[in-house]
């Protein structure tokens, strides 16, 4: 089975952090968003990955080759960026007639037992019940769970089953044929080609689809949702966490502290992730993500995201500070 992960987006709602790194490499709960996705897929036995890259794609390629040297990885440039359907279509030359596909969008973190999903006989789409399905692709189903229709962002939804960006496609070549059709016919919504429209063509052509539930699905699209995801993931992992001791410092779990950090005279936590080689002194941090190689002194931060190589001295309460930034309140 081949895995396709589209990671070409700009991540404009996560600026300033995506000025210097792609959204998929923004850290949450101790590692980049993309690592949460890849690790989950590797744990289920998948090892043949196709990454559709775009904005700062060279950084994604360098990260994957360094952190996951054992996997088979192919990188395809999406330029211009014309939606998820277009992104997956770009992988068509890598797909053979008998290939099965697992597609995972590279900007959300999910927690689902993939072993059971991969045992399903036919194609299946990950879904979650939501309050406002107009914001998502939506699956309409029969009582037996089979899908009768999928539609992207319907103005009047007939279902509250939102597509969460996880697709098990047994008929990989047929998906590519359907994508060929929507691109040939210039079938767009908001100037983008959507994977949903290709799947709808497959359904009309009698390809059977069912659903699988994804209750734990975490958005990382902006500062607030990124911090919320950070909190949820830290609390899920806390029972396995072991924290080093630092001089005159109180650690309030859950926290994630990467290697080679120097922390002193501080209170860290709860719900704090700190990247590697970061220096923190005389500071109080809660509900925060701190990047690697950052330096914080005399800082009081809550509900904050501080980028890598950033330097902060002085007092504040809530910041969204990008990479390579220096602020001195002193």
Q: Tell me, what CATH number does 40's domain have?
A: 3.90.550.10
| Total of domains in the chain | 2
pLDDT per residue as tens digits for the range 169-212: 999 999 999 999 999 999 988 889 999 999 999 999 999 999 99
Confidence of residue 9 (pLDDT cuts 50, 70, 90): confident
Query: Do 319 and 178 have their domain in common?
Result: no
Task: Return the number of other C-beta atoms located less than 10 Å from residue 252's C-beta.
Answer: 13
For residue 272, what is the domain's CATH number? Answer: 2.160.10.10
Mean pLDDT, range 158-171, rounded to an integer: 94
Collect all residues with Cβ–Cβ distance below 8 Å to 225 and sequence separation of at least 6: 218, 219
Residue 105 has pLDDT above 80, yes or no: yes
The continuous run of DSSP H or E covering 66 comes out as: helix 57-67
Q: Is the pLDDT of residue 328 over 60?
A: no
pLDDT at 316: 67
CA 242 to CA 219: how far, in whole Å? Answer: 26
- 248 and 164 share a domain? no
CB neighbour class for 130 (10 Å; exposed up to 12, middle 13-18, buried from 19): middle
pTM of the model: 0.90
Q: Does some domain include residue 232?
A: no
250 beta partners: 267
Q: Is the pLDDT of residue 315 over 80?
A: no
Q: What is the mean predicted confidence (pLDDT) over 22-34?
A: 90
State how far the Cα of 313 lies from the Cα of 319, in Å rounded to an integer: 13
Note whether 47 and 116 are same-domain residues. yes
Specify the pLDDT at position 243.
Answer: 79
What pLDDT, on the 0 to 100 scale, is given for residue 179?
97
pLDDT band per the 50, 70, 90 thresholds, residue 329: low
The arithmetic mean of pLDDT across residues 75-89, rounded, is: 95
The yes-or-no verdict on residue 158 having pLDDT over 70 is: yes
pLDDT at 241: 66
Within a domain: 229: no
Which run of H or E residues covers position 182?
Answer: helix 172-184
Report pLDDT digits (tens) over 49-81.
Answer: 999 999 899 999 999 999 999 999 999 999 999
Residues 43 and 136 in one domain: yes
Q: How many CB atoms lie within 10 A of CB 242?
A: 4
Grade residue 325 by pLDDT with cuts at 50, 70 and 90.
low
Pick 135 or 78 by higher pLDDT. Answer: 78
pLDDT exceeds 90 at position 133? no
142 contacts: CB under 8 Å, gap ≥ 6: 148
Residue 231 lies in a domain: no
Q: 208 and 81 in one domain?
A: yes
Whether 225 is covered by a domain: the verdict is no
Task: Tell me how far apart the alpha carbons of residues 26 and 323 are, in angstroms, rounded to a whole number.
Answer: 11
Same domain assignment for residues 295 and 175: no
The answer to whether residue 224 is domain-embedded is: no
Residues 178, 274: one domain? no
In the chain, the percentage of residues whose pLDDT exceeds 90 is 68
Q: Say yes or no: 14 and 47 in one domain.
A: yes
- Evaluate whether residue 189 is within a structural domain: yes
Same domain, 194 and 268: no
Residue (of 292, 246, 319) closest to 32 by Cα position? 292
Specify whether 55 is located in the same domain as 112.
yes
Instruction: State the pLDDT confidence band at 318, using cuts at 50, 70 and 90.
Output: low
Of 85-99, 149-163, 286-300, 316-330, the range with the lowest mean pLDDT is 316-330
Q: Are strands 216-219 and 108-111 parallel, antiparallel or unpaired?
A: antiparallel
Query: Taking the alpha carbons of 56, 64, 105, 220 in that order, is the dihedral positive or negative?
Result: negative
Domain that holds residue 319: 242-328
Q: How confident is the model at residue 220 (pLDDT cuts 50, 70, 90)?
A: confident
Q: What phi and psi, each to the nearest 5 degrees, are found at residue 11?
A: 70, 45
What local confidence, expressed as pLDDT, does residue 174 receive? 95
Residue 275 shares a structural domain with residue 187: no
Domain match, 61 and 207 both? yes
d(CA 250, CA 271): 13
Picking from 185, 219, 253, the residue at the C-terminal end of a domain is 219
Is 264 domain-assigned?
A: yes
- Of the listed ranges 12-16, 113-117, 149-153, 307-311, the least confidently predicted one is 12-16
């Amino acid at each position: 089975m081949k895995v396709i992960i589209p990671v070409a987006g700009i991540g404009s709602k996560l600026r300033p952090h995506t000025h210097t790194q792609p959204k998929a490499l923004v850290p949450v709960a101790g590692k980049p968003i993309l690592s949460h996705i890849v690790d989950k897929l590797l744990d289920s036995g998948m090892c043949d990955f196709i990454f559709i890259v775009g904005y700062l794609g060279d950084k994604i390629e360098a990260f994957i080759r360094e952190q996951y040297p054992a996997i088979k990885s192919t990188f395809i440039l999406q330029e211009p960026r014309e939606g998820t359907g277009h992104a997956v279509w770009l992988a068509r030359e890598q797909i053979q007639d008998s290939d099965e596909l697992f597609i995972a969008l590279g900007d959300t973190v999910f927690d689902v037992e993939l072993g059971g999903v991969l045992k399903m006989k036919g194609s299946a789409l990950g879904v979650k019940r939501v309050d406002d399905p107009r914001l998502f692709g939506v699956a309409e189903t029969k009582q037996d769970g089979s899908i009768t229709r999928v539609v992207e962002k319907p103005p009047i939804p007939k279902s509250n089953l939102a597509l969460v960006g996880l697709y098990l496609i047994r008929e990989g070549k047929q998906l590519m044929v359907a994508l060929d059709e929507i691109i040939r016919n210039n079938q767009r919504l908001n100037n983008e080609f959507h994977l949903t429209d290709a799947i709808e063509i497959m359904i009309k052509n009698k390809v059977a689809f069912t659903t699988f539930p994804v209750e734990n699905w975490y958005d990382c699209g902006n500062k607030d949702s990124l911090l919320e995801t950070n909190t949820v993931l830290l609390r899920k992992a806390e029972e396995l966490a072991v924290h080093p001791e630092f001089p005159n410092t109180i650690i309030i779990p859950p926290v994630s502290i990467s290697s080679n950090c120097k922390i002193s005279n501080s209170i860290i936590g709860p719900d704090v992730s700190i990247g590697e080689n970061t220096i923190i002194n005389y500071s109080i941090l809660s509900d925060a993500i701190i990047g690697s190689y950052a330096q914080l002194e005399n800082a009081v931060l809550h509900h904050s995201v501080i980028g890598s190589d950033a330097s902060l001295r002085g007092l504040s309460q809530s910041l969204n500070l990008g990479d390579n930034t220096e602020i001195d309140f002193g």
